[in-house]
A and B are shown apart, each in its own frame.
Chain A
């Protein structure tokens, strides 16, 4: 009912190619988030699915059928926009029912559908008002209602939460998640906010400069970023990235931060290869006095955010951020020893900016693997 596939989508504006071949396939009922910085092409992709922009080449298929050249209204999609895009001189009820009205759905049937949707979104008391008399959050609910009432195969969301304040953004996000769970419809959601992407998606496509950097589950995007771009873009604070090279089966930081043992499976890397060592702040922890392979560092800044304590640690010329328990005993200006969770380490080839995966052949593992304590 809502399987969606994008096949080799490109878009050029004159000599400028903004989309460079997008291939994504979704099963019915998936929640895809297109995540990327502004100008990465994510909204263009959404507009192509909607039929508001035609691709230069490639295909958009809904349920296996190409919808190229099909008018947006006949594509069985509904769209929610960042600016709500409500019709200013129509009441909330007519705004929600507008798509049905344009499709000549009989009045009684239309009213029943509008009432049902209003009930779901708890905006029944707003039905008689005009958009100008609504708050931002209420307007976005109306815009979502306008999409819901059509019962389309695919829902498209174009940064729907960007104009809302922080509290409303969270509430509406949960609301959208709830809708997805109860409706089970395919949804495609564009955002530059990685928290929205992580919380909503069943799969995320991270886009950069018109290409898909990684198309995977939120978990994998976060734990196993495919490239330095994904590692830096997803996560707040971002993944710690240390530049260095392989020396004797270990990681030697360029900044002189020290020599770090590598986890299992990287014995195949050759000496001198330039690599980037990635570790999430929450995978950095303070070491007890008897820990075998802890690194010494100076504590520069400590920030308590509430649920966590962020510490900026300095090793040599490099800085890394550690996310610690709020009660962690750490003072700025003092020295400390810390260690990494070896399972969480991600290595990147500095030359290609792509992730390096552990080699399956364990026989070539370097003995250094045993240097990390288990636990």
Chain B
């Protein structure tokens, strides 16, 4: 077997990975950029160069603005609720309660389900004719007749948020629980001796250990939520009346339903740009708080 010179060995070892990255990341990204600057269709992929026309057109379109607002709204609501619920559940599961280990395992279940399965599950729960939610609310006397939760623009987005929160709060709770277990017991005891009540203990003892990991959960969940596609596609396909159409749904529709690959590619790049902005904003905040440490 021929020996590889030492200086080349690292490159040789990394070669397979480089090929994969070039194939599935770099090349598609390059293609997306070149597509976004053309009027290519889905069939006639070699369109003519149109400069930044696609970007300008999409930025000004009502569909884009509506989809952006839907995405922002969805992200804000679901990530916010996931953080609050996740922390509360983590605090609960950190208490010395009976069956804690089993509960911790059970808690992770929604997150372990594939998104599509979760989406189908919630579509059934929201079903206007035989859905569990209608039955429950009717029996509790909250509603007087069955409703089509996913069929009305007013409720569809909220129903979507609930389904997403149910699926994703466990990962926040899991990260939170890990963080809570790093809170030193002695600091807790010191705060009790110092006369700190539950709220003061949360603020001065628990929060310093929770904030960092929670920030990571926030970054992960925001980026995920901003790119949301599958759960919405399975439940409503962006409807009714485009009330749940987020940016990723819009990208898909533009590129594949309306067969405007160039325009779709420009939208995809806009989404990417937003996500990068969000991520770098978070990283900057994390750096600053780490420095203050």
Contacts and interface: CB of A to CB of B under 8 A. Distances in A.
A50 B184 CA distance: 18
A229 interface: no
Given A52-B189, A85-B189, A87-B208, A102 B184 contact: no
Interface string A44-73: 000100111000000000000000000111
A102 B207 CA distance: 17
Nearest to B189: A52
A257 B205 CA distance: 60
A81 to B, nearest CB: 4
Contact of A102 (B187, B200, B208, B293): B200
Nearest to B204: A87
Contact of B190 (A51, A85, A103, A132): A85
Contacts of B293: 130, 132
B191 interface: yes
A102 B198 CA distance: 12
B74 to A, nearest CB: 32
Interface string A120-136: 00000000001010000
Given A52-B189, A81-B186, A85-B187, A73 B208 contact: no
A82 B186 contact: yes
A148 interface: no
Contacts of B204: 87, 89-90, 98
Contacts of A88: 208-209
Contacts, number: 64
Contact of A79 (B190, B197, B205): B190
Nearest to B292: A130
Contacts of A81: 186-187, 189-190
Interface residues of A, number: 27
Contacts of A71: 195
Contacts of B97: none
Contacts of B197: 102
Interface string B203-244: 011011100000000000000000000000000000000000
B193 A50 contact: yes
B144 interface: no
A132 B291 CA distance: 11
A146 interface: yes
Contact of A99 (B186, B187, B194, B209): B194
A83 interface: yes
A72 B184 contact: no
A212 to B, nearest CB: 24
B156 to A, nearest CB: 42
A161 to B, nearest CB: 15
Q: Which 6 A-B pairs have the closest CB atoms?
A: A73-B195, A85-B190, A99-B194, A102-B195, A85-B186, A81-B186
28 contacts: A71-B195, A72-B192, A72-B193, A72-B195, A73-B192, A73-B193, A73-B194, A73-B195, A78-B193, A79-B189, A79-B190, A81-B187, A81-B189, A83-B186, A83-B187, A85-B186, A85-B187, A86-B187, A86-B190, A87-B187, A87-B204, A87-B208, A89-B207, A90-B204, A98-B196, A98-B204, A102-B194, A132-B293
